[in-house]
Amino acid sequence: MADVLMVGGGLIGLASAWQTARAGLAVTVIDPDPGGGASRVAAGMLAPVTEVVYGEQDRVALNIAAARRWPAFAAELERATGIDVGYRPTGTLLVGFDQDDAAAVADLYAFQKELGLEVQRVTGVDARTQEPMLSPRVRIGLIAGEDHRVEPRAVLRALIRACTDAGVELDRSRVASIEHDDERVVGVRTEDGEVRRADRVVLTAGAWSGTIDGLPDDARPPVRPLKGQVLHLRDPGGRPVLHTTVRGLVRHRSIYLVPRDDGRLVVGASQEERGFDTTVTAGATRELLDDAAAIVPGIDELELTETIAGLRPTTPDNAPAIGWSRLPGLMIATGHHRNGVLLAPITADAVTALVNGKDPDPVIAVADPNRPALATRSDQRTVPSPGLDALISSNRNTGGPP
């Protein structure tokens, strides 16, 4: 019998399983398709500074701590597996396209400075000196020296290997229900009817975490899926198009281009309230290409190698839910929204501390799964954290309120 069952093997479940197993516990991850959720779609930005949002200042400390945890986590994972997880501390450049975009970037700069974040203002010329492929139309820029990147698919590959080597059992089943008696959790039932017993169960099923049967109402995390579409572009000769992550505001919409070492660029992302729909649409693809080409015109020559959509697990207040639920023995670790890659190592540390009866890092307190904001049902608040779009009047959200 496992000491701990992780329900879901995305970045959050796998990172938590690896750390918990390394702390000496017997861990099973149950997932029909480990690494197949939002984590596979994510661009891999580790962006506590350029993701900062008005009204969500309370999680800046968590996001900064999460970013600072990454270098050691990446090094440990690479040492354990020999897999390069693509952690690249190259910073992020944020640019504005037209005059209104430049004004919004200037506002963001003032807000980031007010929060004490490390950010530097540069001219369009400076930005082009750093990234020569940028359009001459690009105006003001910001350099966020602490916003780095990683390759999420490489991290998933490494975590699956690290988990296996650390003795984690990977059970490719779907969990149908959480099993509990009058007092506490006793395990889970899989779709084939088998009961897997454990007195500690961690719910790490991403956007699906609220859909599993058997959860008492006061322990069900109010997460909903927030769809995001991304594109992969590639220079046919494998030459790098950009060196750093470039984010932009283009005619009131936000866009990012995240480079990979093999010459690919990941361009994203839409934010759509479409339930559990992962269709790739022509409209989102066209918008992403138009906006990306406005700041990096050379992308027109690149090969379009992949289009994909994923579902961000999103709570009513856009902050994650990490900690013991009201059902004894059931822990929640989900709701990571736009920052699940950034938050994976620090979440894994918190889960490991908690299952061992220890106190987690106090910065995790903002993610209390029993906070009042999560007492509402997941469908009662549908304003996704808009990231850079918060600065402007219209955005890429196609389904939610403004």
- Residues at the interface with ligand FAD (CB under 6 A): 7-13, 30-34, 36-39, 41-45, 174-175, 204-208, 212, 228, 230, 268-269, 310, 312-313, 334, 336-342
Task: Please tell me what DSSP assigns to residue 347.
Answer: H
Instruction: Tell me how far, at minimum, the Cβ of 30 lies from ligand FAD, in Å.
Output: 5
81 versus 270: smaller Cβ distance to ligand FAD: 270
What three-state secondary structure class fits 342? helix
Instruction: Tell me how far, at minimum, the Cβ of 229 lies from ligand FAD, in Å.
Output: 6
Instruction: Tell me how far, at minimum, the Cβ of 190 lies from ligand FAD, in Å.
Output: 8
Tokens 């929640």 -> residue: 332
221 versus 329: smaller Cβ distance to ligand FAD: 221
32 versus 55: smaller Cβ distance to ligand FAD: 32
Structure tokens belonging to residue 312:
């961000």
Distance CA 95, CA 134 (A): 9
106 versus 170: smaller Cβ distance to ligand FAD: 170
124 versus 152: smaller Cβ distance to ligand FAD: 152
Distance CA 326, CA 216 (A): 9
Distance CA 109, CA 140 (A): 11
How, if at all, do strands 148-149 and 169-171 pair? unpaired
Cα end-to-end distance, the chain, whole Å:
49
What three-state secondary structure class fits 363? helix
Distance CA 59, CA 50 (A): 13
Instruction: Tell me how far, at minimum, the Cβ of 47 lies from ligand FAD, in Å.
Output: 7
128 versus 174: smaller Cβ distance to ligand FAD: 174
Instruction: Tell me how far, at minimum, the Cβ of 337 lies from ligand FAD, in Å.
Output: 6
Distance CA 108, CA 81 (A): 39
Distance CA 303, CA 394 (A): 30
Instruction: Tell me how far, at minimum, the Cβ of 41 lies from ligand FAD, in Å.
Output: 5
Instruction: Tell me how far, at minimum, the Cβ of 16 lies from ligand FAD, in Å.
Output: 9
142 versus 205: smaller Cβ distance to ligand FAD: 205
Instruction: Tell me how far, at minimum, the Cβ of 343 lies from ligand FAD, in Å.
Output: 7
Structure tokens belonging to residue 169:
């059992």
Cα separations (Å) of 94 from 142, 233, 393?
5, 20, 18
What three-state secondary structure class fits 249? strand
Instruction: Tell me how far, at minimum, the Cβ of 316 lies from ligand FAD, in Å.
Output: 16
Structure tokens belonging to residue 201:
């169960």
DSSP string covering 285-321, please?
HHHHHHHHHHH-GGGGGSEEEEEEEEEEEE-TTS--E
139 versus 270: smaller Cβ distance to ligand FAD: 270
336 versus 396: smaller Cβ distance to ligand FAD: 336
Distance CA 37, CA 222 (A): 18
